[in-house]
Amino acid sequence: MGDRYLDKQVQNFGEPFFMVIREDETLSSIKERLQKKLKVSDEDFSK
């Protein structure tokens, strides 16, 4: 009797990437860099 959530398949999309996060970085600066990397508009990123 296993956990049902472990049986579900994950379906990824897009290109995977690594993003280095520095110890002194704030969440807002990480979000800003991520938004630029993904080329997402402010409106779409806020969803």
Cα-only R_g, the chain: 16
The secondary structure of residue 19, as a DSSP letter, is -
pLDDT at 8: 75
Cα–Cα distances in angstroms (integers) from residue 15 to residues 4, 12, 38, in the given order:
28, 9, 10
Give residue-wise pLDDT tens across range 1-17: 566 666 777 777 788 88
pLDDT at 1: 54
Decide: 21 and 30 in contact? Cβ < 8 Å: yes
